[in-house]
A and B are shown apart, each in its own frame.
Chain A
Amino acid sequence: MIFVTVGMHTKGFDRLLKKMDEIAAASGEEVVMQIGHTSFRPQSAKWFDFTTDAGIKEWCKKVRVVVTQPAMSILDAQEQGTPVIVVPRLKQYDEVIDDHQLDFARELEKEGKVIAVYDVEKLEEALKKVDLRLPELARDRKLVNALKKYIAQFERK
């Protein structure tokens, strides 16, 4: 089973959802989508627009792979230990205001934290290969500790 999530973004992500719906039809694998503000309505995949935090986590846990935009949803999948394929939203398709998701996907891919797919035509192939286990991802303690340090400083003043 595959979970596709496009988050809270105010723009739709038709390109990804259409392709994943095609893949659902062709492969027969169960695909569940959180479509957010996308206007396209999947035919072969199950879908809903939004759900709760717990709902997203549950779907991330149930599936063999999460397909999403490179954004905070990566953390939901990572918490459940599920591999992630990211597809950046692109400015040229009016999916986002600039191409920051493209930069971000490239960096995460370099660090081996996600599988990045830039052309949706390559999704099917990427989905077949996901069984390779991704390295275990751990939350960076540094940022949490830095915040604690600043909070303590402000308290003393």
Chain B
Amino acid sequence: MEEFSFDGLGTKWFVRIDGASVTEEVKQNIFHFTQHFEKRFSRFLRESEVNAFRTSHRGLYPISSDFFSLLHQADILRTVTRGRYNPVVASFLEEIGYGNTKNLPHFNRVREDIPQWALKNQMLFIDGPIAFDFGGIGKGYCIDKIADILKRAGYEYFLVDGGGDMFATTKASGDPFRVAIEYPGKPNMAVGTITLSHQGLAMSDGFRRHFGKWNHLIDMESHQSVETIIGCAGLAKTAFMADSMTSGIFFAPEENYTLLEEQLNAFYLAIKADHTISMSDQWPGEIF
């Protein structure tokens, strides 16, 4: 099995190819695609699409198809989580000091004035200045795009890993990839294992990105970090849906978990703060 790695979206990536050698051209295509994706959707970069409306007035604006896809998914999560997940968290993260935003145009709204947005006819409606953060769904989307690049280049058996989230086909032997799911906050432990066969798997916890009294999981209704769940894994047909599932589980009220499963066609495994688990009835993995 051949593997290459690179940095992107603030984390480590690797691609593992089975049964074939990866060409330099494909490596470069993947690397450049990831760089381009980061430029388009990083909230730390002035020229990114998510910062395109920081000084805009109320109105309806055309956006790219990728931007629309990400916002469409965010809109589903915003609804199912009753507003607790909201990509406008970008402005709140800036306010509490996460990330270097010195080079960005000043965001002229107070914390209580949550920017409003909606999608209409493939366009974006905003009520004024707005910025987005696609943490929790963007990486999964990027992983699937890289998988598409590999498929178009003729590769059938591979695993794409973006900072611990992944999409995997089968191995050349037809066997699935077997993956351990890390115990939240305990990097040398696993909560269980699962096999992947043309599926996406994502994992998120509140430990790795923890600063002061906050972690990166900010409830936009209460402006508090989510602490009832310390980690969550999502499994779906794509990494995008798996990644979205983890975000949804962190923020949704528990009675909406089934709705999330239906909306995203995904399974979940959530580890609560008391170290008990909540999981899909049909979660196909092994739990320790």
Q: Do A and B come from one complex?
A: no
Interfacial residues, chain A to chain B (CB-CB below 8 A): none
